[in-house]
Amino acid sequence: MTNSTEPQDPEDRRLTRLRWRNDTSWIKPDRRVPFGHVLYAAATLGRSPADIVSRLTELGYDDIELPATPLPRTVDPDDALLLKGDTYNFSWLEVGKPVSLRNLLAAAGRHGRSPAEAARRLTAFGCPVPADHPLPDTPDTRDIVLIRTGPGGNGEWLDWGAEASIGHVRNVTWTLQCNPHTVATRLTALGIRLPYTPEPEDERILRDPGEPVLAIAQETGRRPADIVSRLAELGHPRPSTVPDTLEADDLRILSEELDGRAPWLERNTVVGVQLRHILRAALATGRSPADIAKRLDTLGHWLHENAKLPAVADVADIRLLETVDRSFLDGVHLEHVLRSASLTGRSPADVASRLTALGYRLPDEVDYPEVRALHR
């Protein structure tokens, strides 16, 4: 006979209403009692699961979910909570039903368990984990983020044996601010397939998206063409062609500080490399501006066609160009000329003449003063 009234004994009432933080697992005699509720009641009340089942049966709870395996003698609260089916409300996993990858990783992450350990405990409780290969023995709370594919709301999730796209790896990398190789190797460890097989050197290759291919090749001992090919496989496009040999000054002229180290020169596909960088590199290496420009072009940094290279690098030109915030696609107007004149101590006419000689576009109808500005 089913009892529809709530137990009066305080200990019995605790069997029917289990608290976890702000959530409650509440059972009724006319509904099936989840096995997770039984385990959590045993853990929190310090009793065996068999005792909990016996007492619930006496109270009129006739339909109690139980596994095909023998009941454990004791249960740890954290073990019981592995069967919690959702992070944000008190639902329980169904005994005998395969556990989704999302539920496994969420449970492992909540309790600081590794996926392998969480899988062993869930399987022992009658919730089979369908992994067809060994799961990671190291915990990582970021695992649940790795398999999320849908933004907003409850999201969408990769499940066992699914394939993650290169774009998915890239999106997770951006979210977690980590190396793409870290994401790729963890995904494969979780049984997620990828369009490529992660290799140990991928971590080095993908460490800095702005690093020149030649710098990676020098450190790894691989041919630049091999690096470019591998980057393409990993979904990170680079120049279609790069020199197959490294010249002595290459890394130096590719670095912003001309010291052969990061920060590296950023590739600008709209207006090209800055003329002042070419002139600075020419002075630093003792090479001509034309030679530097040619090599940088080979390395993927082209000079805009409007630019006019001087035969030799001059410190005065570099100083002037440091005051110009216009590209070779922009017009240089009177206010820009006057600003550069003020900063360099040159006359507006001299500044206008020199900028024209270097390829900048200035309006013809302006008469620029020959008087030098007060140098500041």
Counting beta carbons within 10 angstroms of the beta carbon of residue 376, is it exposed (0 to 12), middle (13 to 18) or buried (19 or more)?
exposed
- Give the mean model confidence (pLDDT) for residues 38-62: 93
Q: pLDDT > 90: what percent of the chain?
A: 75
Render pLDDT for 109-140 as a digit per residue (tens, 0 to 9): 999 999 999 999 999 999 999 988 899 999 99
Q: What is the pLDDT of residues 185-242, one digit of tens each?
A: 999 999 999 999 999 999 999 999 889 999 999 999 999 999 999 999 999 877 767 8
Residue predicted with more confidence, 47 or 14: 47
**87: closest CA among 141, 146, 27?**
141
Give the model's pLDDT for residue 6. 64
Please, are residues 278 and 296 in contact by the beta-carbon 8 Å criterion?
yes
Q: What is the mean pLDDT of residues 317-326?
A: 96
What pTM did the predictor assign? 0.81
- Phi-psi domain of 322 (left: phi exceeds 0; alpha: psi -120 through 50; beta: other): alpha
Q: pLDDT higher for 125 or 155? A: 125
Give the closest residue to 304 by CA, choosing from 276, 340, 283, 334: 276
For residue 212, cis peptide bond before it (omega within 30 degrees of 0): no
Determine whether 31 is exposed, middle or buried from the number of CB atoms within 10 Å of its CB (0-12, 13-18, 19+).
exposed
Q: Which of 153, 20, 144, 178 lies closest to 91, judged by CA?
A: 20
| Average pLDDT of span 164-185 | 95
pLDDT classification of 2: cutoffs 50, 70, 90: very low
